[in-house]
């Protein structure tokens, strides 16, 4: 692969698509070509292979870690466990992480990791061996550390894998005070943070809620404002998809379709997300759920059913020029990374649709990962030091107001006003603030530049400008 000119390469596809988006958005900026090239290129691509014991023999595992940009340190990005992983994909995902962090003002460079396995083919013990060995390989090359590169979960990995990484890193770096900041997405018991598990899906739901709150944009789409009663189809019932669906229904939307790899279900009156999730857990399939009015063996048919909003939250390249004409939604909100091809996006906008792009829509995960990293470096849970102080101050204020006015509040009113914020409340508030501010930052660029045709271009323009400033301030040395 030609790392410096990926768009010229036939076998690059996903990274090529990300670079095409970059090149397109770069036209609307004023930076010099060399600087743009520095921003776009992947700085470090580490491909490695290592053996594990399997049965009576060995098996060799292919793996990657890509650090796309060092304009901020550390770099940050999840580790994907999938037999579909390849170098092009890891590079694309690392690049998206760079732009994503810039968009939501998280001070990290972008990175991504990949382990080419289907986790279902390995025992828990084997997965632990693979994860620990992968971590050791990263340590050997200085590709992990709280100030170097900080992994997180992605497709096929979760809290369990992050615990193994944290333990391996801490064991190999005895006495390093900030060792647990070398990885995020850890369980709370291992100094993870409240709200991280659901952060990406919550962020997706907030992004959609913000998008549909703008009357001018909804009018153009022929939709009313607000989430109440909006029909939504979600693809993927994993971490991102499940929580996106859960919070969207909590915000008043109607989840009418759910798609998993074994098939899809639909009910125009709404599906009970939790009941579907439990049904799949019990039976191993989304199909056969009693509350569905329609079932599709081919999961892709599920994406084409009537709805207002489609949330692809499984994998990349799900919406292409082949199926975009059949998508009924007016808004596509990209929970997954890279689910829509550039050609499909152009066709969708031409037909009057709107796409909330991945690099913004799914940035809730990295935002809360940033909070977790801060917690790990400060070695104290958010709210622990100030909560009681806040409660006492609020109590004094309530007593004073009651004394002056002679009006006594109800016990419920008193406790609501007095209560100090928990870690979860602080995290959710920081996440909500980030998602809302970032949406309007992107939309401003979109509205103020008639040549910027999509929210993705606008998000990319904003990201390029921020990263360019960082590189310019850093200078070049030696
Ligand atoms: P996950 O492994 O928890 O869930 C993915 C789900 O998609 C699984 O339930 C899987 O069965 C389903 N799936 C796979 N192929 C499918 C298909 N063809 N049709 C329908 N469903 C299919 O993974 P995740 O963490 O939810 O990640 C999903 C996407 O979101 C990925 O693109 C990932 O890069 C992106 N993402 C994840 C996070 C995070 O915090 N986990 C953050 C940002 C972006």
Quick one: what percent of the chain has pLDDT higher than 70? 97
Sheet strands side by side (includes 331-333): 294-296, 263-266, 254-260, 231-235, 309-312, 331-333, 354-356
Which of 99, 154, 296 best tests ligand 1's pocket when mutated (most atoms within 8 Å of CB)?
A: 154
Average pLDDT of the segment spanning 280-309: 97
Is residue 110 within 8 A of residue 41, CB to CB? The reply is: no
Q: Check if 112 is active-site.
A: yes
**pLDDT computed for residue 7 by the predictor:** 41
> Which residue, 281, 225, 217, 273, is CA-closest to 245?
273
pLDDT at residue 75 greater than cutoff 80: yes
Average pLDDT of the segment spanning 395-401: 97
**pLDDT computed for residue 43 by the predictor:** 98
Which ligand 1 atom sits closest to the C-alpha of 153?
41
pTM: 0.94
pLDDT at residue 3 greater than cutoff 50: no
**pLDDT computed for residue 172 by the predictor:** 98
Average pLDDT of the segment spanning 27-53: 97
The catalytically annotated residue of 112, 186, 231, 330 is 112
- Render pLDDT for 116-159 as a digit per residue (tens, 0 to 9): 999 999 999 999 999 999 999 999 999 999 999 999 999 999 99
Q: Band the pLDDT of 13: cuts 50, 70, 90.
A: confident
Residues 272 and 308: their CA atoms lie apart, in Å, by: 18
pLDDT at residue 221 greater than cutoff 80: yes
Which ligand 1 atom sits closest to the C-alpha of 156?
2
- The DSSP call for residue 321 is T
pLDDT at residue 241 greater than cutoff 90: yes
**pLDDT computed for residue 292 by the predictor:** 98
Residue 308: both structure tokens together: 């207002």
Determine the 3-state secondary structure of 132 from DSSP.
helix
Determine the 3-state secondary structure of 312 from DSSP.
strand
Average pLDDT of the segment spanning 284-303: 97
Which ligand 1 atom sits closest to the C-alpha of 80?
34
Cα distances (angstroms) measured from residue 31 to each of 85, 100, 214, 454: 33, 20, 32, 21
Average pLDDT of the segment spanning 325-344: 96
Please tell me the distance between residue 384's alpha carbon and the centre of ligand 1 in angstroms.
Answer: 33
Q: Band the pLDDT of 12: cuts 50, 70, 90.
A: low
> Which residue, 302, 311, 316, is CA-closest to 330?
311
- All residues at 6 or more sequence positions from 412 whose CB lies less than 8 Å from its CB, including other chains: none
- Render pLDDT for 419-459 as a digit per residue (tens, 0 to 9): 999 999 999 999 999 999 999 999 999 999 999 999 999 99
Q: Are strands 57-67 and 109-115 parallel, antiparallel or unpaired?
A: antiparallel
Residue nearest to atom 9 of ligand 1 (CA): 238
pLDDT at residue 462 greater than cutoff 70: yes
- Longest CA span, the chain: 80
Residue nearest to atom 18 of ligand 1 (CA): 261
- All residues at 6 or more sequence positions from 279 whose CB lies less than 8 Å from its CB, including other chains: 286, 288, 289, 290
**pLDDT computed for residue 55 by the predictor:** 87
Average pLDDT of the segment spanning 45-55: 96
Ligand 1 site residues, Cβ closer than 6 angstroms: 153-156, 200, 235-241, 259-261, 299, 313-315, 335-337, 362, 365
Which of 17, 197, 238 best tests ligand 1's pocket when mutated (most atoms within 8 Å of CB)?
A: 238
- Average pLDDT score, the chain: 96
Residue with tokens 């990406």: 200
Please tell me the distance between residue 113's alpha carbon and the centre of ligand 1 in angstroms.
Answer: 15
- Render pLDDT for 383-397 as a digit per residue (tens, 0 to 9): 999 999 999 999 999
């Amino acid at each position: 692969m030609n790392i410096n000119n990926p768009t010229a390469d036939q076998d690059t596809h996903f990274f090529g698509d990300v670079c095409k988006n970059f090149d397109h958005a770069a036209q609307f900026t004023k930076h010099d070509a060399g600087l743009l090239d520095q921003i776009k290129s992947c700085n470090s691509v580490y491909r490695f292979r290592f053996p594990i014991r399997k049965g009576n023999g060995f098996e060799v595992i292919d793996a990657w870690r890509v650090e796309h940009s060092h304009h901020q340190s550390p770099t940050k990005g999840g580790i994907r466990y999938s037999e579909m992983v390849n170098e092009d994909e890891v590079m694309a995902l690392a690049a998206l992480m760079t732009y994503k962090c810039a968009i939501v003002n998280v001070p990290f460079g972008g990175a991504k990791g990949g382990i080419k396995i289907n986790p279902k083919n390995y025992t828990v013990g084997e997965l632990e061996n693979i994860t620990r060995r992968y971590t050791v390989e990263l340590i050997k090359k200085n590709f992990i550390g709280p100030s170097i590169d900080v992994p997180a979960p992605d497709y096929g990995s979760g809290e369990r894998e992050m615990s193994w990484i944290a333990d391996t890193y801490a064991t190999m770096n005895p006495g390093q005070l900030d060792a647990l900041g070398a990885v995020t997405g850890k369980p709370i018991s291992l100094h993870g943070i409240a709200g991280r598990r659901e952060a990406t899906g919550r962020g997706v739901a907030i992004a959609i809620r913000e998008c549909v709150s703008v009357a001018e944009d909804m009018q153009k789409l022929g939709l009313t404002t607000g989430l109440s009663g909006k029909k939504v189809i979600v693809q993927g019932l994993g971490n991102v998809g499940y929580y996106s669906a859960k919070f969207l229904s909590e915000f008043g939307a109607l989840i009418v379709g759910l798609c998993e790899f074994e098939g899809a279900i639909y009910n125009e009156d709404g599906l009970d997300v939790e009941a579907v999730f439990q049904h799949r857990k019990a039976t191993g399939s989304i199909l056969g759920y009693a509350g569905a009015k329609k079932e599709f063996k081919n999961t892709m048919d599920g994406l084409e059913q009537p709805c207002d909003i489609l949330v692809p939250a499984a994998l990349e390249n799900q919406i292409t020029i082949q199926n975009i004409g059949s998508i009924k939604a007016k808004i596509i909100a990209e929970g997954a990374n890279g689910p829509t091809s550039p050609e499909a996006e152009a066709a969708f906008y031409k037909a009057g649709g709107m796409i909330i792009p991945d690099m913004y829509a799914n940035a809730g995960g990295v935002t809360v990962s940033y909070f977790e990293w801060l917690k790990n470096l400060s070695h104290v849970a958010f709210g622990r030091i100030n909560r009681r102080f806040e409660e006492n101050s609020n109590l004094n204020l309530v007593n004073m107001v009651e004394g002056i006015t002679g009006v006594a509040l109800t016990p419920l009113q008193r406790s609501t006003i007095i209560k100090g914020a928990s870690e979860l409340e602080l995290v959710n508030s920081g996440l909500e603030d980030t998602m809302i501010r970032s949406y309007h930052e992107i939309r401003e660029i979109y509205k103020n530049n008639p040549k910027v045709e999509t929210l993705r271009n606008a998000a990319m323009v904003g990201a390029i400008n921020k990263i360019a400033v960082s590189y310019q301030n850093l200078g070049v040395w030696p």
